[in-house]
């Protein structure tokens, strides 16, 4: 494999630094948005479906997912930093970061459904496109698509009930 294929210019240290950056940006941005838009009294007062998970589950799930998302982005980047899959990866990140402010800060349940359905579609698109580049990146998004699919159902249920 050439250095152009690995995206690390022949320097493994640079590639590991980029991996750390992908994970850090994903964790820090996601964590900051989560902290700034933490569910509060408004969310606590909503009528919730029976399958609403306990609040404590969200932090460890998102921590794990953000690490997997960062690694997947890095894997695609390391193959080709200009591959369209990386643009899909970036677009899904933006929608991921947009959902919490729309839902928790603005209290817009139905617009949040639109965001999360679009996010789900981009995640599926990334899985399909990245499978041709690096199957590991594709597989790393499977837990993410399952969680976002569940979150979409939960968001729709909350919108219907409230």
In angstroms, rounded to a whole number, what is the distance separating the alpha carbons of residues 8 and 106?
41
pLDDT digits (tens, 9 = 90+) for 13-63: 578 899 999 999 999 999 999 889 988 899 999 999 999 999 899 999 999
Two structure tokens written together for 106 = 């603005």
7 in a structural domain: no
The label of the residue with tokens 């959902």 reads: 99
What percent of the chain lies above the pLDDT cut of 90?
Answer: 85
Q: Is residue 91 part of a domain?
A: yes
- Average pLDDT of span 92-116: 97
Count of structural domains, the chain: 1
> With 70 as the cut, is the pLDDT of residue 11 above it?
no
Domain that holds residue 76: 26-161
pLDDT at 124 over 90: yes
Give me the residue label for tokens 């630094």. 17
| pLDDT of 94 over the 60 cut | yes
In a domain, residue 8? The reply is no
Phi, then psi, of 122 in degrees rounded to 5: -70, -35
Residue spans of alpha helices (H) in the chain: 3-6, 12-36, 41-44, 58-79, 84-100, 109-131, 135-140, 142-161
Q: Cα separation of 159 and 137, whole Å? A: 32
Angle (deg, nearest 10), helices 109-131 and 84-100: 160
Name the pLDDT band for 148 (thresholds 50, 70, 90): very high
* CATH code for the domain of 83: 1.20.1260.100
């Amino acid at each position: 494999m050439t250095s152009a294929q690995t995206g690390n210019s022949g320097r493994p240290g640079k590639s590991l630094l980029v991996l750390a950056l992908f994970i850090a940006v994903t964790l820090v941005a996601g964590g900051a948005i989560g902290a700034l838009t933490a569910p509060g009294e408004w969310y606590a007062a909503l009528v919730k479906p029976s399958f609403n998970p306990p609040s404590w589950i969200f932090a460890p799930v998102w921590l794990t997912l953000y690490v997997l998302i960062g690694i997947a982005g890095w894997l695609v980047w390391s193959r080709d930093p200009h591959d369209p899959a990386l643009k899909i990866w970036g677009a899904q990140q933006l929608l991921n970061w947009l959902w919490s402010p729309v839902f928790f800060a603005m209290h817009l349940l139905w617009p949040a459904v639109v965001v999360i359905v679009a996010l789900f579609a981009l995640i599926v698109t990334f899985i399909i496109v990245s499978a041709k580049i690096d199957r590991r990146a594709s597989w790393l998004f499977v837990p993410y698509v399952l969680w976002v699919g569940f979150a979409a159902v939960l968001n729709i249920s909350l919108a219907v009930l409230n």
